[in-house]
A and B are shown apart, each in its own frame.
Chain A
Amino acid sequence: AQSVTQLGSHVSVSEGALVLLRCNYSSSVPPYLFWYVQYPNQGLQLLLKYTSAATLVKGINGFEAEFKKSETSFHLTKPSAHMSDAAEYFCAVRSTGGGNKLTFGTGTQLKVEL
């Protein structure tokens, strides 16, 4: 079985502040992990993915995430938030142990304030 848990359904930061969105995973086999972003009335697009090549993964728009096996975490960060980062962010897990099914967390709505 596999699952992801996103702590905090809503996160609010000031423009220029650090963004930290939390994701913890559960998987019986080494997982592949993904972060997606969804802007209003649009589909999901990939921000970054972890595929075991490197624990620190850099994505688009200045986002990055670090895979920590000891903590079963894959938190998403960005050093300085921009107004255009306001969106909903989803963490997802996929593994061969789960039949290559792609399972999403419940999402975190990021609000960026002036």
Chain B
Amino acid sequence: DAGVIQSPRHEVTEMGQEVTLRCKPISGHDYLFWYRQTMMRGLELLIYFNNNVPIDDSGMPEDRFSAKMPNASFSTLKIQPSEPRDSAVYFCASSLDGGNTEAFFGQGTRLTVV
């Protein structure tokens, strides 16, 4: 398997624009996580899915953020409208079912909102 695939790797957008980040998890994995990493706040869990169903979205900063998982092989994280403070690296990770299994991370999307 190619691992967790995220696109794009880099995104630069203007404030107010819509941004969509994409993630393809490892085939067969039941869990998918979206994290945001910044210098100030570290690695924050935004939302995670189990079998395509959102389980906990308490980490989503505000209504401008939304995430979907229409099928087992694809998820999106959308920010609309984007703001400069959304600039961060966004990681997607996936894992098999069970608490004793590790999550595998994608390379991340570096988002810059100007």
Interface assignment of B70: CB less than 8 Å from any CB of chain A: no
- Out of B91, B95, B100, B105, name the residue touching A51 (CB < 8 Å): B100
Q: Is the CB of A32 within 8 A of B33?
A: no
Q: Which B18-61 residues have C-beta < 8 A from chain A?
A: 31, 33, 35, 42-43, 45, 48, 50, 55-56
**Known A-B contacts A43-B105, A43-B107, A51-B100; A102 and B42 likewise in contact (beta carbons under 8 Å):** no
Interface assignment of A45: CB less than 8 Å from any CB of chain B: yes
**Known A-B contacts A34-B102, A96-B99; A103 and B45 likewise in contact (beta carbons under 8 Å):** yes
Nearest A-chain residue to B103, judged by Cβ: A102
Interface assignment of B93: CB less than 8 Å from any CB of chain A: yes
Q: Is the interface of B mostly helix, strand, loop or mixed?
A: strand
Q: Is the CB of A43 within 8 A of B43?
A: no
Q: Is the CB of A101 within 8 A of B95?
A: no
Residues of B within 8 A of A (CB-CB), count: 25
Q: Which A55-114 residues have C-beta < 8 A from chain B?
A: 90, 94-96, 99-107
CA distance A90 to B98 in the complex (A): 20
> Which residues on A are within 8 Å of B, measured CB to CB?
32, 34, 36, 42-46, 49, 51-52, 90, 94-96, 99-107
CA distance A44 to B35 in the complex (A): 11
- CB B62 to nearest CB in A, in angstroms, measures 20
CA distance A32 to B97 in the complex (A): 13
25 A-B residue pairs with Cβ-Cβ distance under 8 Å, sorted by A, are A32-B100, A36-B105, A43-B91, A43-B105, A43-B106, A43-B107, A44-B91, A44-B93, A46-B104, A49-B100, A51-B100, A94-B99, A99-B56, A100-B31, A100-B99, A101-B48, A101-B55, A102-B48, A102-B103, A103-B45, A104-B35, A104-B43, A104-B45, A106-B42, A106-B43
Nearest A-chain residue to B108, judged by Cβ: A43
Q: Is the CB of B95 within 8 A of A102?
A: yes
The 5 A-B residue pairs whose C-beta atoms are closest, nearest first, are A43-B105, A51-B100, A106-B42, A44-B105, A104-B43
